[in-house]
Chains A and B, each alone.
Chain A
Amino acid sequence: QVQLLQSGSELKEPGASMKVSCKASGYTFNYYAINWVRQAPGRGLEWMGWINTRTGNPTFAQGFTGRFVFSLDTSVSTSYLQISSLKADDTAVYYCARGRPMVRGILSGFDYWGQGTLVTVSS
């Protein structure tokens, strides 16, 4: 069965960096895009961007450029989210989600989600 397994919770100080992993299983990794979604405490879902698992090309939403990096290790079917220069505002649960196949160049929803990784930024 399809699964996305994310790494565990992180507690970081402001200014530090962090890296969340998302390991896929149960399907051919490079057939589907991996998306990243943020959910701040008590808030809604916010799409951060996606990475093409065939080419490694990332696309970032507005507001998620500069400090954010998406990467892959296709040998272990894993995608990574890195955030540098962490701020208190980065405190959130971060989800990876598999993109359904594109229709007319647009992902047709997100069909499998990781369990989420809580990142807390506090001194």
Chain B
Amino acid sequence: QSVLTQPPSVSGAPGQRVTISCTGSSSNIGAGYDVHWYQQLPGTAPELLIYDNTNRPSGVPDRFSGSKSGTSVSLAISGLQADDEADYYCQSYDSSLSTYVFGTGTKVTVL
């Protein structure tokens, strides 16, 4: 089981804003390790969406934004679109496990 916890699902209507939380502990997020977010569209490989908590790779729309506070981080999607329907994963490093860890994943549904 993952040490990073995400809600199993979130949903919103087109145009709305949704947020996905990623909660860790003092050995990962709370220890100051950076968090990265990935989008996995159905049947495809994950893609990097946010790196180092808040940075977007080139080509990622600014509708996607990341934030960090203490042991929790969040991904926000504003102006929700139908093609945002996907699974989203947070990822960080855990010092007590000495491994990179992924969150449990969140399925975003556009109503």
Contact = CB atoms under 8 A, between A and B. Distances in A.
Interface of A: 35, 37, 44-47, 50, 61-62, 95, 97, 100, 103, 106-116
A56 B52 CA distance: 26
A103 B52 CA distance: 10
B99 A62 contact: yes
A9 B33 CA distance: 35
Given A62-B99, A95-B46, A113-B47, A44 B93 contact: no
A106 B105 contact: no
Contacts of B34: 103, 106, 108-109
A110 to B, nearest CB: 6
B76 interface: no
Nearest to B105: A44
A64 to B, nearest CB: 9
Interface residues of B, number: 25
A43 to B, nearest CB: 9
B22 to A, nearest CB: 12
Interface of B: 2, 33-34, 36, 38, 40, 44-48, 51-52, 57, 89, 91, 93, 97, 99-105
A61 B99 contact: yes
Contact of A108 (B40, B46, B52): B52
B48 A110 contact: yes
B45 A109 contact: no
Given A62-B99, A103-B34, A44 B45 contact: no
Contact of A44 (B47, B48, B100, B104): B104
A35 B101 CA distance: 12
Given A44-B2, A44-B102, A114-B45, A109 B91 contact: yes
